[in-house]
Amino acid sequence: MSNHRKIKKMSRMANLTLGFSFSSGLLRYSLFSALIIATFAQSGNAQETFYSPKVDSLYKLVNQVCPMDSICDNNMVFQCAELVKGDTVPVILCKDEIGVVDHVGFCFLPDSIRMVNIPVIQFLEREMLTLLVTKDISAILSAYRNDGLLLMVDDAPMGQINMQNKGFICSMLKDCKGITLNRVEKDYSVTIYSSNGHRLSFSFPADCELISGMDKKEQEIRLAFQLQNHAANTIDSLIPLPDRRYLQLLQNDAYRDSIYVEKGERFVIPQINNDLFYFKNDSIYTLVSDTSLIALSFSNALLAPSTNHYTIDVKHRMYGLAAQDYSIDSRDFNDYFSQGFERYFGIETLEPEHLSGTLILYNRDEEFIHLFYVTTTLNDLVSGGKMMMELYSNIPQHNIESLY
C-alpha cells in the first residue's frame, strides 16, 4: 500500500470516528453515522453493518443456516450446504474498503463474466439467493410484478411451482455454461444457458433503486461514506492520450496551429459535453492548462486526471434537506469515479476569482447521475489549490431532462 493510501486511510478513519455535521437534524442520518462508528470501535467477530436493508435481511437469512460472522475477507465465496437439500450453494459476500457489507448473492458466474456489468450481475445474484431462502413465493411474485421483473424458464413464465423447486433452480445456475446480457433503451434482458439444456431468462427495467437494492437515501449514505474513506491505489492517475482520429484544430491567434480539441459527446444540451483540449508541440500532445486559456483549462481539469492535485470541499445535498460537508483529495475523487461513470462538464462563469460550472457523472448501467456545481479560482485551478463542489447525488435518469 502506498504512503498516500495509508495516510489518507488513517486520516479518513479519524474523521469518521469524530462523526459528521449535518445541517439538518434528521435522526436517520445521525443514527446511521453512529452505527458505522460503532463498527470501527469493535473488533473480532463484531456485528456486520450494511447500507441496504435488503442485503441486511438476506445476510441474516443465510447466516441462520450458514454462519458468515467469521468471514473477514472483502470478497469471499463459500459453499453453503444447508440452503438447498442435497446440494451446495456458492454464496458470495462482498465488503467495501471500510468493511461494510454491500453484497450477498448466489455466485453462479466466474469473475471474468461478473466484471462485464457488476451492478446487474450482483442484482441477479441477490435475486437468485433471495429466491432460494424465501419460503413465501407469493410475496416474491408480488414484488416481481411491482418492480417490473419477469422471470422465465424456457420461454415460459416461471410460476410458483418452479420457484418452489429450489433444487431445480440451484442446479440450473450451477450448471451455467453461458450468459447473454442485452440492453434495449430502458430495459435489460438476461438469459442464462444451462448445460442441462434449460434457459433461465430475466427482463427488468434499468432502474437504479431496483438494481442497487437501495432507495435514494440509502444510496446517498453509501456514497458519502465510501467517497470520504476512499484512497486511490496509486498516487498519480494516467493522463489521457488523445485519439488522433477525432482531433480538430482550433482557430486561435495566440496559439496558431497548436491547439486541438478531441470532440466527445454532449449530455442533454450541447454546452455540457466531454470535449478535451490539447497543446501540440511537434508530435507531442499535452492537456491544456494555462492561465491564458481559462475555459479550456477549466474543462480539462474536471474531465481528465490532471498533473495538478486539488483539495475538493464537498457539500453533499441529500434527500430530505440533509447536507453533509467533507473534503477529499482529487486523486481519490478521480479514482473512485474511474469505473462505471461517463463525465460531462459545462462552464457557467469565467471570472478569474469565480470560475463555475456543472459536472455530470453519468452511470449508464443503473441510469442515474451525480450532479456537481463546481467553483474555484483561476489561481487554484492552475496551481492545484481548492475546489468547491455542491453535490446532488443519485438522480434517476428519468428526472434528468427536467433539470435543464
**Residue 25 domain-assigned (yes or no):** no
Which CATH number characterizes residue 222's domain?
Answer: 3.10.450
CA R_g for the chain: 24
CA–CA dist 263, 253 (Å, integer): 21
Residues 224 and 206 in one domain: no
The H or E element spanning position 383 is helix 378-383
On whether both 223 and 167 belong to a single domain, the answer is no
> 33 lies in a domain?
no
Q: Are residues 198 and 222 in the same domain?
A: no
Asked, for residue 205, whether it belongs to a domain, the answer is: yes
Same domain as 106, residue 71:
yes
Q: What was the pLDDT predicted at 238?
A: 66
Tally of structural domains, the chain: 2
Q: Are residues 60 and 191 in the same domain?
A: yes
Domain boundary among 174, 195, 212: 212
Q: Is 204 within 8 Å of 367 (Cβ atoms)? A: no
Domain that holds residue 370: 216-237+293-403
Task: Tell whether 344 is covered by a domain.
Answer: yes
Domain identity same for 120 and 227? no
* CA–CA dist 359, 47 (Å, integer): 38
Please indicate, yes or no, if residue 335 is contained in any of the structural domains: yes
The angle at the Cα of 167, spanning 165 to 173, to the nearest 5 degrees, equals 110
Output the furthest CA–CA distance in the chain (Å, rounded).
Answer: 77
Give strand pairing partners of 91: 78, 106
Is 126 in the same domain as 63? yes
Contact by Cβ (8 Å): 390, 376: no
306, 288 in Cβ contact below 8 A? no
Long-range CB contacts (within 8 A, 24+) of 234-238: 234/2, 234/335, 235/2, 235/4, 235/331, 236/305, 236/307, 236/331, 237/305, 237/331, 237/334, 237/335, 237/338, 238/305
Q: What is the mean pLDDT of each run of 10 residues along the chain (404 residues)?
A: 44 36 40 42 60 94 84 80 90 92 93 86 96 91 94 90 89 91 92 92 95 95 95 72 84 79 93 94 88 94 87 94 91 92 97 96 94 96 94 83 49
Beta bridge partners of 260: 249, 278
CB of 175 closer than 8 Å to CB of 196: yes
Task: Confirm whether 250 is domain-assigned.
Answer: no
pTM for this prediction:
0.83
Among the three residues 162, 178, 212, which one is the final residue of a domain in this structure?
212
Pair (207, 316) in one structural domain: no
Indicate the residue among 195, 212, 229 that finishes a domain.
Answer: 212
Same domain, 92 and 164: yes
Does 99 map to a domain?
A: yes
Looking at residue 39, what is its pLDDT? 38
Q: At what angle do helices 3-18 and 216-229 cross, to 10 degrees?
A: 130
* Neighbouring residues of 305: CB distance < 8 A, sequence distance ≥ 6: 236, 237, 238, 239, 240, 331, 334
Is 298 in the same domain as 174?
no
Are residues 223 and 207 part of one domain? no
- Looking at the fold, whether 226 and 179 belong to one and the same domain comes out as no
| In a domain? residue 111 | yes
